[in-house]
Chains A and B, each alone.
Chain A
Amino acid sequence: MADNVLRLENLTMQFGGLIAVDDISLDVNKGEIVALIGPNGAGKTTAFNCITGVYEPTNGRVLLNGEIISESYPRGKMKDAYKGKNKGTYNKVVRHTPDKITYRGIARTFQNIRLFKALTVFENVMIAKHMRAKQNIFTATFRLNWKEERRMREETMALLEEQNLAHLKDHTASSLPYGLQRRLEIARALATDPSLLLLDEPAAGMNPQETQEIAEFIRSVREKYKTTILLIEHHMGLVMQISERIYVLDFGEMIAHGTPDEIRSNQKVIGAYLGVVEDAEN
């Protein structure tokens, strides 16, 4: 597919004897909002960490815009300990640190908000601009990069204004209410000019009204920046409302994928969440 943004191929992550992510394959196409759901401990965040380069997958491949950004096969200690599938399919190692992956165009937010707490809202977003600025330590120190610096400031201000955070620019990040911290985190991720945005539980800890706001916010982000979004979420209302396609993980395995309507009526998914399907049939 030409408009494929993210593709996971047979991604497997094994910690010691435990397979946290088991042979999942997933596609996200340009402009889509795709959700990755599953009960606690299903391996959603682990999958995120494999995509963003925090973990090196045990086996499998991650592609961004058709380019391999991460690939690995069981080696070292895992050579004998590997219990997953597709052994021998992959034989290359491609590994990038998280900052390189962000540079290639994947930005993320965190489950437990990770802002630069003591810094201002403005600085938080400016830091995300650092990566793409054309400068080195000498030009930056002696302000020979002032044109670049000016551009960074202008873009940051524009972004903050679009996100209705401009009036808070001089407040420290930690002084913001929870909902705004979430939005700032997303704004900061957007400042890295991503082609794919990964949101790890954007509505965690929010009340119904805030959840509704974040849903609209995520939609507006997609419209404005033409970003593709992959999100992890527990809040079913939000997931069903905004995502076009849903992937469901349970115990590391992909048990279903489809449109919200298909997922809603999928017995396996209901079973994974409620665990009562067999009992009900008896």
Chain B
Amino acid sequence: MDVINSTKKISTKNLTIIALLVAFFILLIILEQVIAPTDRMNMLLVSLRQGSIFALLAVSMNLLNGFTGLFSLGHAGFMLIGATTYALFSIPLAQRTDVFLWFSDSYLIRTSFPEVLGNAIGGPGMIMGMLIAITLAGLITAVFAFLVGLPVLRMRSDYLAIATLGFAEIIRALIMWQGLGTLTNAGNPLRNFTRHVDLNITIGGQTFGLITFTLALLSAICIFVIILIVSSSYGRAFKAIREDDIAAEAMGINLFKHKQLSFCISSFFVGIGGALLAIFMGTVAPIQFRAAMTYEFLLIVVLGGIGSVSGSVIGAMLFVFASMWWLRGLDSGAFLGLERITIGGFNIGERVFVSGFRLVVFSVIIMCVVLFFRRGLLGDKELPYYVKKLKDTIVTRITRKEKAGVSDG
């Protein structure tokens, strides 16, 4: 009766996963101390930071698009709400006049959680303040999602996609509106808020970097919660809606309530992802949060596999590493030594590997992935499934060889 007991028992499979994760995070801490910011390998850390945030954003999109089957394209708008909320509640008061340049002293929000708590308790207080601001970013995004969901979730498939896309643009337009300038700074970049550089710990003159670790840990916690939701009774109800909404309704699942639930939960984590992205980028400029940003995440989700959490994480990491690091040389004239090739006075490094070529190659790679992995890299299965499959094939091969050996003898 392993099915029944699986709610309580921790299996060896889960233990392995936990051990691997702990090892990964210890490795992250060590890497961060070893690699100097000026080192070429620092790109690894930067990519890991962005990759983990993108992973969270992709997984929360997958919760909606992959698990509930609601094709929503409002990602960028909800990210913007999260990022803006975080920034507004964490800019130190002394910096506000500087940031709200066009609105002099009339800005509305006059609380900075990291500052208030930091002054009260010190270092840990600042971190607590950041966490409060991040959570608040998620909650406010979820509230907006609830309001947007009321009209939008009555639509289906393509219509839902178009409507959410429209609402994302409306959100951006609202935030850039001069009328709300005293609240949102009306499209002028928000900056100077508490960032990850403030997370480094100094003990006895020695600074320990914990930036990558903290961002990855926060993302991992959020992704873990999403996994818990997906594997819970509600997750099954979401999947039922994806598979066949008429049958789901006939089985007593209230469609609107569950769609709204999925929409709000997804947006909550998108808001948190937006806040983390703000921390990573250092400025929040609404102009960046266009529909193109949504498509990046859609690409990651499709690349990794619709309906696969680990697929989205792997897709996000590959996407970020390829575009930020591995293919960078294609833009700057040096890639795997290919730049030295000269054909009839036509030097590849000078003529081909110039700014913009990275995107060309990147697009071709993505086309190839989509062509050859039609259901994404992992389909709708999770990584452990493939590990087990690989183990099984190896085991059967070994036993076959042994049998062959026995029969030969």
B232-264 contacts to A (CB < 8 Å): 232-234, 236-237, 239-240, 243-244, 246-255, 261
Least CB distance, B250 to chain A, in whole angstroms: 6
Contacting pair B233 A133 (CB below 8 A): yes
Report whether B243 and A117 are in contact in the complex, using a CB–CB cutoff of 8 Å.
Answer: yes
Q: In the complex, what residues of B have CB within 8 A of residue A114's CB?
A: 244, 246-247, 250
| Contact, CB under 8 Å: B232 / A140 | yes
Q: Check if A146 sits within 8 Å of B7, measured CB to CB.
A: yes
A75 → chain B, closest Cβ, in Å?
22
CB <8 Å contact, B243 and A119: yes
9 cross-chain pairs, A with B, having the tightest CB-CB distances, nearest first: A131-B252, A116-B243, A114-B247, A102-B252, A140-B232, A98-B249, A153-B4, A127-B240, A128-B251
- Complex alpha-carbon distance, A189 and B248, angstroms: 11
Q: Which residues of B contact A131 (CB under 8 A)?
A: 251-253
| Count of A-B contacts judged by CB separation below 8 Å | 116
Residues of chain B with a CB closer than 8 A to A157's CB? 1, 3-4
Residues in chain A near residue B261, CB distance under 8 A: 137
Q: Among A102, A107, A140, A150, point to the contact of B234 (Cβ < 8 A).
A: A140
Residue B296 is within 8 A (CB to CB) of chain A in the complex: no
Interface size on B, residues (CB 8 A): 30
Report whether B250 and A142 are in contact in the complex, using a CB–CB cutoff of 8 Å: no
Q: Please, which residues of chain A bring their CB within 8 A of the CB of B240? A: 116, 119, 127, 130
> Provided the pairs A114-B244, A115-B247, A119-B243 are in contact, do residues A130 and B4 lie with their beta carbons within 8 angstroms?
no
Residue A99 contacts which of B229, B252, B265 (CB distance < 8 angstroms)?
B252
The answer on a CB contact under 8 Å between A142 and B228 is: yes
Listed by A's residue number, 29 A-B pairs whose Cβ atoms lie within 8 Å are A54-B246, A97-B249, A97-B254, A99-B249, A99-B250, A99-B252, A107-B250, A107-B251, A108-B250, A114-B250, A115-B243, A116-B239, A116-B240, A122-B3, A126-B236, A127-B239, A127-B240, A127-B253, A130-B233, A130-B234, A130-B236, A131-B252, A132-B252, A140-B234, A141-B229, A146-B7, A149-B7, A189-B251, A192-B251
Q: How far is the CA of A103 from the CA of B232 in the complex (A)?
A: 20
Q: Report if A152 contacts B (CB, 8 A).
A: yes
**Interchain CA distance A3-B236 in the complex, whole Å:** 36
Q: Is B8 an interface residue, CB under 8 A from the partner? A: yes
CB-nearest residue of chain A relative to B261?
A: A137
What per-residue 1/0 map shows which CB atoms of A137-176 lie under 8 Å from chain B? 1001111011001101110010000000000010000000
Residue of B nearest to A160 (CB): B3
* Contacting residues, chain A, for B244 (C-beta < 8 A): 114-117
A→B interface (CB under 8 Å) = 52, 54, 97-100, 102-103, 107-108, 110, 114-119, 122-123, 126-133, 135, 137, 140-143, 145-146, 149-150, 152-154, 157, 169, 188-189, 192
Contacts of B236 in A (CB 8 A): 119, 123, 126-127, 130
| Contact of B4 with A99 in the complex, beta carbons under 8 Å | no
Residue of B nearest to A142 (CB): B228
Alpha-carbon gap, A132 to B249, bound state (A): 14
User: Could you tell me the distance in whole angstroms from the C-beta of B251 to the nearest C-beta in chain A?
Assistant: 5
Cβ contact within 8 Å between B234 and A141: yes
Q: Which residues in B have their C-beta under 8 angstroms from that of A130?
A: 233-234, 236-237, 240, 251-253
- B230 (CB) vs chain A CBs: closest residue: A141
Question: How far is it, in angstroms, between the C-alpha of A119 and the C-alpha of B255 when the chains are bound?
Answer: 18
Closest chain A residue to B246, Cβ basis: A114
Q: In the bound complex, how far is the Cα of B87 from the Cα of A166, in angstroms? A: 54
Which single residue of chain B is at the shortest CB-CB distance from A129? B233
Chain B, residue nearest A133 (CB): B233
* Alpha-carbon distance between A157 and B255 when the two chains are bound, in angstroms: 26
Interface presence of B34 (CB below 8 A): no
Inside 8 A of B237's CB, which chain A residues have their CB? 127, 130
- Residue-by-residue, is B1-25 near A (CB-CB < 8 Å gives 1, otherwise 0)? 1011001100000000000000000
Residues of A within 8 A of B243 (CB): 115-119
Complex interface: chain A residues within 8 A of B233 (CB): 126, 129-130, 133, 135, 140, 145, 149, 152
